Amino acid sequence: MGPGLRAAFTLALFVAAPRGAPARRASALLPRLPIVTAPPPAGLELLDAARPSTRDLLAFERDGHCAMRGLLSPAEAALVLAELRAEHARRTDEMAAKLRADHGERFQKREVPFEQLFNLWTCSAAARAVVGSERLARTAATLLGCERVRLYQDTLLVKRRGHGATHWHSDLHMAPLDTNAFVTCWLALTPVPRQSEGGSSLVFASGSHRDCAHLFWAAEPTAPVAPGRYSLRSHAPHAPGDATWHHGWILHAAPPNGADADRWSFAVTFFADGARTLSVQQRERMDDEDSPSYRGWLAELEPGAPAVHERLPLVPRAAPRPSAARAKRPTRDAGAPRANRPADGALAHVERRAEARRRSAGRE
């Protein structure tokens, strides 16, 4: 990638301290430049919507998580990994400097849980192909029971051999959105063994996403999960391309990486269109650990305003299917200030391809 395109990076970059640990600070935001658009790389069209089974839907509703083996094929996962590795490599010096500045000795000792890059979709064609795909976005909408979703963020997570635990947390506690409809697809890009073999897959506290008593009474929502309160579940082992989906309120964590290889994963988070941002008062109660991911767009919206912004695009970009369109007139971005409407070019390739697919399906 040439210097011009490199300068177009808009992602926020930081490496995280353990969840729940103090002083997990992000680097300054890089200058925000236009979102780069490019068609999906060949082999990453991902036009077919995955269909969650009734079992998946029930598990997601009751437990707050479900697994979808082979959501990406091995070849698709390899393409994504290759591009994200290259992206990560371009930022190695920057990341190492930041790690040293933020974590000093702890970084040297690998006590951080992972290295993390946000919102690669703004600069990587492969990441954009995944986050705007029919396959992920329609699955997210089905799991959340809504017509359209918006992309909240993507996150590349590199958990090196010997990196520490990801501490218990719930994602919505760190997002400035007033919503209950928020879901993350966590994609394994390298093999993840079982925990008994040193693997570091996500572990979910089943049912905690609807444990209002915990959410209401717990003094510290990111405290370790009380023994026996929930059944703890991991879906490991994972092959590259396997995915888990988890609800925004579910408590989850991951053990240290004791395997003999680095763990690469890509997490894509969606929310149901229609959510509003938190008020200033509400924001005082949230954990701002992920602020490098959202502070750019949040600063451009009024507190409590609809979460509508070009950095929160509707996905997939294709119009709702005819039956859905008949049932409910699309209200996409109605009334939003022009500056806040998704960029016409963003993810337009997904829209074009989906339209072509619908047309050809109609001919068959």
Q: How far is the CB of 160 from ligand AKG (least distance, A)?
A: 12
Q: How far is the CB of 192 from ligand AKG (least distance, A)?
A: 10
Q: Which of 63, 102, 171, 290 binds ligand AKG (CB under 6 A)?
A: 171
Q: Which two tokens stand for residue 259?
A: 């395997």
User: Using the rule CB under 6 A, is 166 a contact of ligand AKG?
Assistant: yes
User: Using the rule CB under 6 A, is 277 a contact of ligand AKG?
Assistant: no
Residues 106-125 within binding reach of ligand AKG (CB under 6 A): 114
Query: Which is nearest to 116 in space by CA: 266, 237, 249?
Result: 266
Q: How far is the CB of 257 from ligand AKG (least distance, A)?
A: 9
Residue number, 166 or 208, with CB nearest to ligand AKG:
166
User: Using the rule CB under 6 A, is 267 a contact of ligand AKG?
Assistant: yes
Residues 140-159 within binding reach of ligand AKG (CB under 6 A): 157, 159
> By CB neighbour count within 10 A (0-12 exposed, 13-18 middle, 19+ buried), where does 108 fall?
exposed
Q: Where are the alpha helices (DSSP H) in the chain?
A: 3-6, 54-63, 74-90, 92-108, 125-131, 134-144, 212-217, 280-283, 291-298, 322-327, 348-363
Residue number, 8 or 13, with CB nearest to ligand AKG:
13
User: CA–CA separation, 349 vs 256, rounded Å?
Assistant: 39
Q: How far is the CB of 24 from ligand AKG (least distance, A)?
A: 13
Which residue in this structure is represented by tokens 């339209």? Answer: 355
How many of the chain's residues bind ligand AKG (CB under 6 A)?
Answer: 11
**Total length of the chain:** 364
The residues with which 113 forms a beta bridge, in sequence order, are none
Q: How far is the CB of 354 from ligand AKG (least distance, A)?
A: 26
User: Using the rule CB under 6 A, is 254 a contact of ligand AKG?
Assistant: yes
DSSP state for residue 305 in the 8-state scheme:
S
Q: Which of 14, 60, 121, 186 binds ligand AKG (CB under 6 A)?
A: 186
The strand order across the sheet containing 232-234 reads: 166-169, 252-254, 203-205, 232-234
Helix axis angle for 54-63 and 134-144, nearest 10°, is 60
Residue number, 214 or 246, with CB nearest to ligand AKG:
246
Q: How far is the CB of 195 from ligand AKG (least distance, A)?
A: 12
Number of neighbouring beta carbons within 10 Å of residue 329: 9
User: CA–CA separation, 350 vs 39, rounded Å?
Assistant: 8
Up-side HSE of residue 354: CA atoms within 13 Å toward CB? 24
Query: Which is nearest to 215 in space by CA: 285, 124, 128, 140?
Result: 285
The vertex-250 CA angle with 247 and 252, nearest 5°, equals: 115
Q: How far is the CB of 318 from ligand AKG (least distance, A)?
A: 26
Residue number, 253 or 308, with CB nearest to ligand AKG:
253
First-to-final CA distance of the chain: 41
Which residue in this structure is represented by tokens 């029919």? Answer: 134
Residue number, 39 or 258, with CB nearest to ligand AKG:
258
Q: How far is the CB of 163 from ligand AKG (least distance, A)?
A: 9
Residues 197-236 within binding reach of ligand AKG (CB under 6 A): none
Residues 10-39 within binding reach of ligand AKG (CB under 6 A): none
Residue number, 273 or 289, with CB nearest to ligand AKG:
289
User: Using the rule CB under 6 A, is 190 a contact of ligand AKG?
Assistant: no
Q: How far is the CB of 201 from ligand AKG (least distance, A)?
A: 8
> Distances in Å between the alpha carbon of 192 and those of 58, 201, 291?
25, 6, 28
Interacting residues with ligand AKG (CB under 6 A): 114, 157, 159, 166, 171, 184, 186, 252, 254, 265, 267
